[in-house]
Structure 1
Amino acid sequence: MPRSGPLTGVRVVDLTAMVMGPYCTQIMADMGADVIKVEPPAGDNTRYISVGPAPGMSGVYINVNRGKRAIVLDLRTDAGKTVLRRLIETADVFIHSMRAKAVTKLGFGYDDVAAINPSIVYTNCYGYGRRGPGRDRPAYDDTIQAECGLPAVQEQLTGEANYVGTIMADKVAGLTALYATMMALFHRERTGEGQEVEVSMFETMASFMLVEHANGAMFDPPLGPAVYPRTVAPNRKPYRTKDGHIAALIYNDKHWNAFIAAVQPAWADERFATLELRARQIDTVYSLVAQTMSERTTDEWITLFAELEIPAAPLNTPDALFDHPHLNAVGLFETVDTPHGPVRMPGVPTWFSRTPGRIAGPTRELGADTDEVLRELGLDRDACGL
Structure 2
Amino acid sequence: MSGGPLEGVRVLDLTSVVVGPVATQFLADYGADVIKVEPPEGDLLRKLGGKSPSGEMSAKFLHVNRNKRSIVLDLKRDDAREVLKRLCAEADVVVVNMRGAALERAGLSAEALRKGHPRLIHCWLAGFGQGGRYADKPAYDTIIQGSSGVSAALQRLHGTPSYSPFLMADHTVGLIAVQMILLALYRREKTGLGDAIQVPMFENMAAFMLTEHMSLQTFEPPLGPTGDPRILDPQNRPVPTKDGYICISANTDAQTFAFFDAIGRPELRTDPRFNSVAARFANVQEYFDFRYNALRERTTNEWIAIFDQHSVPAMPFHTFESLMEDPHLEDVELLQRVQHPSEGPIWNIGLPNRLESGARSDYLPPPVKGQHTNEVLAELGMPVAEIDTLTGQLRR
Tell me the TM-score normalized by structure 2: 0.94
Structure 1 unaligned spans of 5+? none
Q: C-alpha displacement at 1:116, in angstroms?
A: 4.4
CA deviations over 1:45-94 (Å, ceiling 9, x no partner):
00101122212211111111111100011112111111111111211000
Partner residue in 2 for 1:238: 238
**Post-superposition CA distance 1:25-58 (Å, at most 9, x none):** 0111110000000011111100101122212211
Task: State the distance in 1 between where 2:91 and 2:256 align.
Answer: 55
CA distance in 2, matches of 1:116, 1:69: 26
SS of residue matched to 1:292 = coil
- Matched with 2:393 is none
Which position in structure 2 is the counterpart of 1:9? 8
Give me the whole-angstrom Cα distance separating, in 2, the residues matched to 1:77 and 1:91: 21
Q: Which moved more, 1:129-138 or 1:29-38?
A: 129-138
Report the alpha carbon displacement of residue 319 of structure 1 after superposing the two structures with TM.
2.4
Instruction: Tell me the equivalent position of 1:247.
Output: 247
**Equivalent residues in 2 for 1:172-251, closer than 5 Å:** 172-251=172-251
Give unpaired runs (5+ residues) of structure 2.
391-396
CA distance in 2, matches of 1:350, 1:271: 40
Q: Alpha carbons of 1:40 and 1:17: their partners in 2 closer, same or farther (altered >3 Å)?
A: same
1:264 maps to 265
Residues 124 and 197 of structure 1 are in contact (CA less than 8 Å); yes or no, is this contact kept in structure 2?
yes
How far is the alpha carbon of 1:264 from its aligned partner? 1.0
CA distance in 2, matches of 1:367, 1:14: 13
Q: Distance in 1 between matches of 2:171 and 2:374?
A: 32
Structure 1 stretch displaced more, 257-266 or 140-149: 257-266
In 1, the alpha carbon distance for the partners of 2:384 and 2:225 equals 61
Q: Please list every run of at least 4 consecutive aligned residues from structure 1 whose deviation after the TM superposition is greater than 3 angstroms.
A: 357-360
The answer for the alignment partner of 1:55 in structure 2 is: 55
> 2 CA distance for matches of 1:163 and 1:215?
22
Shift of 1:187: 0.6
Alignment of 1:82-161 (within 5 A): 82-161=82-161
For the residue of structure 2 that corresponds to 1:321, the secondary structure is helix
Identity of aligned residues (%): 40
Q: Conserved in 2, the CA contact under 8 Å of 1:239 and 1:290?
A: yes
Q: Is the 8 A contact 1:347 1:358 kept in 2?
A: no
Give the corresponding residue for 1:325. Answer: 327
Counterpart for residue 365 of structure 2: 362
Residue 114 of structure 1, CA deviation: 0.6
Q: Is the 8 A contact 1:247 1:312 kept in 2?
A: yes
Secondary structure, aligned partner of 2:340 = coil
CA distance in 1, matches of 2:14, 2:116: 17
Aligned to 1:379: 382
C-alpha distance in 2 between matches for 1:116 and 1:328 = 49
**Where does residue 284 of structure 1 map in the other structure?**
286
Aligned length: 385
Q: Distance in 1 between matches of 2:55 and 2:383?
A: 28
For 1:289 and 1:222, how far apart are their aligned partners in 2? 31
Q: Give the structure-1-normalised TM-score.
A: 0.96
**Distance in 2 separating the partners of 1:152 and 1:362:** 39
- After superposition, the CA RMSD in angstroms is 1.5
* Mapped partners of 2:217, 2:242: distance in 1: 41
Alignment-mate amino acid for residue 40 of structure 1: P
